[in-house]
Amino acid sequence: MFKITKKAVFLLISAVFLVLLVGGFFYWEDIENYLEEKEMEKVFAPAKDYTIYENSEGKFIENKKDKLTIKIPDGWQAEIGADIFGFSSGRSVVIYSSDYSLSPRKGCAIEIEITRAKEDAEGFLERGVNEVKEDIVYSKETPANKENYQYYEVVSIRGRESLKEVLGNIVTIEIPTENNVYFFQTISIPKECLLELNNVLETAYIR
């Protein structure tokens, strides 16, 4: 008759314990990652919330959760999960002309993000709704010196007061609503890119 020794029992119990320990570690790690992802989604819209679709009127990028629809300029491309510098990003989408290149510098690109935080979120660089609105008030009271390398000014985007930041060749537009900040950024070389940015903003639909 087959007998199980105490040593074999001990090894079996140890193996089962090790499997449970390792499995529990990865399970807890998955839970932590899930919770962290949910916290991040309270601060900004993740790239997975954007979709690209096409109809008889052209190609569009849409984020239904944050009520944004953008028409992609004719002949341009769109990439979800990337920024204007070509880096992978879990929070942005980029639209760009077919000849876009950083080196050598040519063509145009526009990066788009959405912040969901009312206040600045600890541990994140995103500016909350209230900070952008406060900067709009301050900028209205303090005229911009456009000779500076960096300056802010208030602009109107489809009837919404918005904040324009110029930092060298990088131009950023922040459009605050009650719950979100809609962020658009481009590199203003060549100058035609500013015109393209304005055209995209004029067709952007924020519900």
What pLDDT is stored for residue 47 in this prediction? 94
* CA atoms in the 13 A half-sphere facing the CB of 21: 6
Element (H, E) at 24: helix 6-43
Paired strand residues for 150: 167
Tell me the pLDDT band of 12, cut-offs 50, 70 and 90: low
Q: Which two tokens stand for residue 91?
A: 């929070």
Write down the domain spans for the chain. Answer: 1-43, 44-206
Question: In this structure, which topology does domain 44-206 adopt according to CATH?
Answer: Protein Transport Mog1p; Chain A (3.40.1000)
pLDDT in tens, 134-189: 999 999 998 889 889 999 999 999 999 999 999 999 999 999 999 999 999 999 88
pTM of the entire structure? 0.79
Q: Which residues, including other chains, have CB under 8 Å from residue 178's CB and lie 6 or more apart?
A: 129
CB 84 within 8 A of CB 111: yes
Query: Residue type at 194?
Result: L
CB 124 within 8 A of CB 141: no
DSSP string for 151-202:
EEEEEEETTEEEEEEEETTEEEEEEE-SS-EEEEEEE-SSTHHHHHHHHHHH
Q: Which two tokens stand for residue 8?
A: 């074999």
Percent over 70 (pLDDT), the chain:
78
